[in-house]
Amino acid sequence: MQDVLAMTYIWLKAGHIIFVIFWMAGLFMLPRLFVYHQETAPDSPDNAVWIDRERRLLKIIMLPSIIVVWVLGLLLAHVTGAFTQGWFHAKLMLVLVLSGYHGFLSSYARKLARGERSLSGKALRMLNEVPGVAAALIVILVVARPF
């Protein structure tokens, strides 16, 4: 039985890491697409192309990835008993922040599709730093387990 649990853990962990990479790639890429999108005229043919690119990234890569990340992450936490550990609580908080950021990006994509451009290119470039900072903190928490 111990061997089965060990093998399950390894595959859960591998899948979790793979889909975190996919999700993070989307979180880094989407704000960059927004910057380019906002540089096009709202009534230009390029505008429709950017809307389609953003929609595809969200629906084909980011949405499935966030779902798999959460499912596998919670399974891993259950298998390892991480729910009682402080480092996990901090990691969970950061993943909730990233999930909210994902929701914000999805909402902003819908705004852009409607022609609303409420953020500047500079603001979008600054927002693009959120997943990098969160990822660095999460890796430190998972590897070092400081508390």
Residue 51 and residue 113 in contact, taking contact as beta carbons nearer than 8 Å:
yes
Take residue 110 and report the two structure tokens written for it: 């819908």
Report, in angstroms and rounded to the nearest whole number, the Rg of the chain calculated over CA atoms: 18
Take residue 76 and report the two structure tokens written for it: 């891993």
Integer CA distances (angstroms), 93 to 2, 26, 40, 105, 137, in order: 31, 20, 36, 18, 11
Integer CA distances (angstroms), 71 to 32, 62, 76, 138, 147, in order: 28, 14, 9, 17, 24
User: Is 91 labeled as ligand-binding?
Assistant: yes
User: Is 16 labeled as ligand-binding?
Assistant: yes
Query: Binding site membership: which residues?
Result: 16, 91
The binding site for heme consists of 16, 91
